[in-house]
Structure 1
Amino acid sequence: METIKSSGDNDKRINLVILSEGYQTSELDQFITDVTSLSDDMFSQSPFLEYADYFNVYAIKVPSNESGADHPATATDVTEPATPMTTKDTYFNATFDAFNYHRLLYYGIDYADAATAEAKIHSVLSDNFPTYDQALILVNTNVYGGSGGEFPMASTSANDIAIHELGHSLFDLKDEYYPGDALAAEAINMTQETDPTLVKWKNWIGLNGIGIYPYGTSGVASTWNRPHQNCKMRYLGVPFCSVCKEGMIEKIHSLVSPIDSYTPISNTVSNPSFPLDFHLNLIKPAPDPTILESSWSLNADDNFATNVDDVSISESDLNVGSNNLTAVITDNTTLLRIDNHETLHVYTVTWTIDHSSLGVKDIESEINNLSIVMYPNPANTIANFKIESERGTNLKVDIMSLDGKKVKTVPMSNHETQQVDISNLSEGIYMANFYANNILVASKKLVKQ
């Protein structure tokens, strides 16, 4: 295994592992060159570009006895032989013409034929990198082709196929060309909803070409809709649309915390003296690291500090007894439409400082990742709230009017959706303030219709 891109510890990054196929031992240096080219191409495109530091990339050199891939010339979508018929002895049995499509490059001619190769893929990953997040197979042929599935496969001339297929396998995106009735389903970028106020990408309607576009003019295809007419999930060589980018960033946030490390950690400070120094090491998106915002609270002061990675506390800042310093981290990139977005990811570090007249006895720390959901928005009679917290004690939502009055407090149970009757509220805009352990961790606009 060889490192292509190292951004941080494997347990704090998304680990993409690329396996060689159809490379002989003498060609494995070329494999590393090809993997590097694919990685560079991938991280030049949004949102991989902005979130490059959230990924590690590794290459596993798997030698084959022969170079290339099989071309059985059995495809029915072209006049065969579209390329010279050939059979190659390769480790994962890379095969064009899979499922009768000439450009479909798969590790077998069909699912039954692929079973042996799939077992080999699992074995190689288990032996070399069992904690991978996504694996991809790069095939040593300049004939254009690839496929999706659990393990996407692409030829060296098809980087964009590889990136498109990662949209499926890693980020759960659907094709924005019609994939057929059997594969049509509700997803991040596919829906049967036609109401622009209810569609899942309503926060993007009218921006960056986002709308509600039917897949077809007749049949089942006409009942399904995509968000854009020219997205990478429909055509290669173009960018991902805003809806797909948002979904991809959501998945990144669900896999990786932006808090890479922090100090101090529990009981690592002996004989603490003032001032007490606290530090965050954050994985900051590019090119503007300021979109990752931090809000620091100390005891009852929710505005102790903002948008800094370091704070210092003097003795006069502390009460006698237990004190809580919390840093709340949120991603305010414009690639997410936070106000109208259904899910918000929040990350916190809390330090508990035991202070007495004799000084600081000890400092303990705790990290927490939260997922906050509110829907529908706008709402008429019922609003649904859900907080998923790794350390889910004392959760609540306060609904506030814009003049700062609290109109409703809703105690929350971790991982449970709470339906809240808002029918008695006047129409207008409110703020839903979410608290964990009495710390304000997020605020979202709630529109009452």
Structure 2
Amino acid sequence: MFFNAQTFDLEVIKQSGDDDKRINLVILSDGYQASEFSKLITDAASFSTEMFTQSPFKEYTNYFNVYIIKVPSNESGTDHPATATDVTEPVFPAATKDTYFNTSFDTSGFHRLLYTYSSSLVYNVLANNFPEYDQPIILVNSSEYGGAGGPYAVSSTGASANEIVIHELGHSLFNLRDEYYPGDGRLFEAINATQETNPTLVKWKNWMGIDAIDIYPYGTSGEAATWNRPHQSCKMRYLGVDFCAVCTEGIVEKIHSLVPPIDSYLPISNAVTATVYPIDFQLNLIKPIPNTLKSTWTLNASNFANDVDDISIIDTDLNIGTNNLDVVVHDDSPFLKVDNHNSVHVYTVSWTITKSALGIDEIISEENDFNISLFPNPSNNILSIKVESENAVNLKVDILSLDGKQVKSTKISNYESNEIHISRLSNGVYLANIYSNNMLLTSKRFVKN
């Protein structure tokens, strides 16, 4: 019998930064005896190496840590009850193995569905050994093909094991659906699955006609014909191929929702008793490869610098009294099409600098994250804007024509869907400039028709 409070050895496979500022993938072993832990390390390292050679993970490798919790089982392998109804059993000999998490093939009657419902064991091990986890992966010591998505991803170590894990992570961490037909009643609206057939309304409309993205039915009859996917050859359909552009965008957006690209910054809030100019301000960013992060620095609402990680301010840059230095960071990755996409992630650091005739009295800093949504786009009468941020203050939106003329300005509320009436605007393309405390967060194009 195993005890819930047990602790196990932790192995580092990949460490890019502090656990509280990275996405932590935590591999749990099942069906590995203690004597097989060298094989476990080899299997886990093989998966990690493969994952970070594929897009978009290779570009965002700096955002991930990978660990193993070495959980020993009494026996090697996993259960195969030979009860699947989708194949002629036994596909391989029936067996019952004494493993820690009690994984098994033939889950829900599907032979390849390798899973465990012992979720309390899984989460107890995580709580006692690595509570900072973001996504658990159960690696099962079996050479047979199998795996599953869900709250935790599960994979065997046989043929295509690395591809199985990456595919299942598409489900478990990134909320993607299968792009092969999984059966009636198993699809719902998601990033890469929809019943919408209108090209101007489909959720991947920003990618239509690019990289073979279109609206493809899952099948020609029955329920399958009522569901659509964005691509004909995506990793969520076939192992061994790339993620399509729609799934890639969804993965990158989830990465940004989990990990801000600002790893640290200086100076942090402090009281200053003496000042030696220049005063240095800097960002330590978690940079994609190649770096696609863009930054805009403003001092007292005037542009000061762009796309640099540090700046210096001299005495004459500052006014007597309160000064506001802000930097806004966003990702300009080609994996994202934010001009015609509902949401964008923006990250900021703001410094309030108090200057007197004697020097700098105080510097106060604040970091903030924003998730900004603008929809529908195009719009006829009402444009909805939603800003989500713990520290947003004095939010407003200015609507400008492309020649720079302001045609509308209004205050908006945090965490609410704010309706902007645009029926009186002429048809055309406009910019929505969204501000927090006079700091420009983002400028989004939208179409009035």
TM-score (structure 2 length as normaliser): 0.96
Aligned to 1:83: 92
Secondary structure of the residue aligned to 2:263 is strand
Which residue identity lines up with residue 126 of structure 1 in the other structure?
A
1:175 Cα offset (Å): 1.0
Aligned equivalents of 2:280 and 2:245: distance in 1? Answer: 40
CA distance in 2 between counterparts of 1:341 and 1:317 reads 38
Counterpart in 2 of 1:225?
228
User: Would the aligned equivalents of 2:272 and 2:360 in 1 still touch at CA under 8 Å?
Assistant: no
Q: Report matched runs for 1:37-436 at 5 Å.
A: 37-107=46-116, 114=117, 117-157=118-158, 158-267=161-270, 270-286=273-289, 288-289=290-291, 291-301=292-302, 303-436=303-436
Structure 1 residue aligned with 2:441: 441
Partner Cα distance (2:273, 2:194) in 1: 57
Q: Any idea what SS the aligned residue of 1:247 has? A: helix
Unaligned runs of 5+ in 2: 1-9
Maintained 8 Å contact 1:273/1:360: no
Q: What CA distance in whole angstroms lies between the structure 2 residues aligned with 1:355 and 1:275? A: 14
2-structure distance, mates of 1:410, 1:183? 43
Query: Is contact 1:352–1:364 with CA below 8 Å preserved after alignment?
Result: yes
Please say if residues 11 and 67 of structure 2, whose CA atoms lie closer than 8 Å, have aligned partners that are also in contact: yes
Partner Cα separation in structure 1 for residue 447 and residue 304 of structure 2: 29
Is residue 35 of structure 2 the alignment partner of residue 26 of structure 1? Answer: yes
Structure 1 residue 79: Cα displacement: 2.0
CA distance, structure 1, for counterparts of residue 14 and residue 301 of structure 2: 43
**For 2:398, what is the secondary structure of its paired residue?**
strand
2:6 alignment counterpart: none
What is the identity, as a one-letter code, of the residue corresponding to 2:143?
N
Verify: 1:13 aligned to 2:14, yes or no. no
Asked if the contact 1:272–1:362 (Cα under 8 Å) also holds between the matched residues in 2, the reply is no
Q: Secondary structure at the match of 1:339?
A: helix
| Alpha-carbon separation, structure 2, partners of 1:90 and 1:156 | 15
Q: Secondary structure at the match of 2:431?
A: strand
Q: CA offsets, 1:92-145, max 9 Å, x none?
A: 1121122222212122xxxxxx3xx32211111111012211101001111111
TM-score, normalised relative to structure 1: 0.96
Q: Is residue 261–residue 347 contact of structure 2 (8 Å, CA) maintained in 1?
A: yes
Letter matched to residue 443 of structure 2: S
Query: Paired residue for 2:3?
Result: none
**Could you tell me which amino acid in structure 1 is paired with residue 220 of structure 2?**
T
Q: Percent sequence identity over matched residues?
A: 62
| Letter of the structure 1 residue corresponding to residue 201 of structure 2 | L
Letter in 2 for 1:321: G
Amino acid at match of 1:92: F
2:196 & 2:327 partners in 1: Cα distance?
A: 39
Secondary structure at the aligned position of 2:177 is classed as: coil
**Alpha-carbon separation, structure 1, partners of 2:310 and 2:152:** 42
Structure 1 residue runs without a partner (length 5+): 108-113
Indicate the SS of the match to 2:120. Answer: helix
Instruction: State the distance in 2 between where 1:99 and 1:405 align.
Output: 61
Question: Which deviates the most, 143-152 or 333-342?
Answer: 143-152
Output the CA distance in 2 between the equivalents of 1:308 and 1:182.
Answer: 50
* Count of aligned pairs: 438
Deviation at 1:268, TM superposition (A): 6.5
Equivalent AA in structure 1 for residue 104 of structure 2: T
Amino acid corresponding to residue 388 of structure 1 in structure 2: E
Cα distance in 2 between the residues matched to 1:405 and 1:297: 22
Q: Please report how far the alpha carbon of residue 86 of structure 1 lies from its aligned counterpart in structure 2 after TM superposition.
A: 2.1
Give, in angstroms, the shift of residue 85 of structure 1: 2.1
Contact preservation (8 Å) 2:273, 2:360: no
Hey, what's the Cα distance between the residues in 2 that align with 1:71 and 1:298? Answer: 65
**Distance in structure 1 (CA, Å) of the matches to 2:17 and 2:243:** 26
- Cα offset for 1:269? 5.2
Asked if the contact 2:272/2:361 (under 8 Å) is kept, the reply is no
In angstroms, what is the RMSD of aligned CA positions?
1.1
Q: CA deviation at 1:402?
A: 1.0
Deviation per residue, 1:307-333 (Å, 9 max, x gap): 000100011000110101001000000
Residues 389-432 of structure 1 deviation map (CA, whole Å, 9 limit, x = unaligned) = 22121001100011111000021100111111111111111111
Contact in 1 for aligned 2:215/2:230 (Cα 8 Å): yes
What whole-Å deviation, never above 9, does each CA across 1:340-379 have from its counterpart, x for those lacking one?
Answer: 0110000000011110111111111000100111011111
Deviation of 1:147 after TM superposition, in Å, equals 1.3
Q: Which amino acid aligns with 1:285?
A: P
